[in-house]
Amino acid sequence: MKVIILAAGMGSRLKPLTNHMPKTMITVGNQTLIENIIQGLIDIQLSEIAIITGYQHEVLEIFLRRRFPTVRLQFIYNDQYSVKDNIYSFSLAEEYVGNEELLCICSDIYCKPKLLLRAVQAPFDILMVDDTKEIPSGAMKVRVNREGYITKISKELTVEEGKGEIVGISKISASNTAFIFKRVATYLDKGIVNVWWPYAINDVLEQIELRPWSTDGIGWVNVNTFDDLKEAINIAND
């Protein structure tokens, strides 16, 4: 299994903390967000990790090489991080991933390490979703059919339509990774660059079987605001 961590964003809503470092280097408890993710991966024997960097990429790379000197981290630089969303960052990992199974993680997530283990143990292709708490109206949500497969991924789904909020952790089988990268490429070819990469999956949901995989109540938060950061600290202290 190959792991990619999407870490190119600027974290503008967390300034001044992100004035001189990427958002994923914000500290929660005794670790940064990125340390929490990578250590969690190491603990479940996942060591093939690529980080898609962008904003303050040199700061992040130096920090991680010093922090994890024995881990073979690969860094892929997105030089268009300020004008393109993470669909472009995702596309840059195509050569690295090849036709292997993929675990994709957004670098602004703070979670209990067992959430990563839960994702890896899923017996099918999944988008991790939180269906255990109230879904914020503006959250990225999934719609699911009677058979349990995802039929739509969108922020525009109503709370009633949505099965759960997307967490930012996905597991895709080797048989589907190349297929998804090709679909992402068609978006980029059309100039559709300011969307999250899961939007591209909408077009292939009739061809691949993708299920929501519940967080099962395990603590997590995507740290985009100072309120999110407070929630992350609460999870760390729980």
Q: What does the pLDDT read at residue 61? A: 98
Q: What does the pLDDT read at residue 220? A: 97
Q: What is the DSSP string of the chain?
A: -EEEEEE----GGGTTTTSSS-GGG-EETTEEHHHHHHHHHHHTT---EEEEEBTBHHHHHHHHHHH-TTS-EEEEE-TTTTTS-HHHHHHTTHHHHTTS-EEEEETTEEE-THHHHHHHH-SS-EEEEE-SSPPPTTS-EEEE-TTS-EEEEESSS-TTT-S-EEEEEEEE-HHHHHHHHHHHHHHHHTT--SS-THHHHGGGTTTS--EEEE-TT--EEE--SHHHHHHHHHHHH-
Q: What does the pLDDT read at residue 117? A: 97
Q: What does the pLDDT read at residue 134? A: 83
What's the pTM value of the predicted model, to 2 decimals?
0.95
Q: What does the pLDDT read at residue 133? A: 86
Domains in the chain, CATH or no CATH each: 2-123+168-191+219-237 (3.90.550.10)
Q: What does the pLDDT read at residue 45? A: 94
Q: What does the pLDDT read at residue 6? A: 98
Three-point CA angle 183, 111, 179, nearest 5° = 15
Residue 145 identity: N
> Which regions of the chain are under pLDDT 70?
none
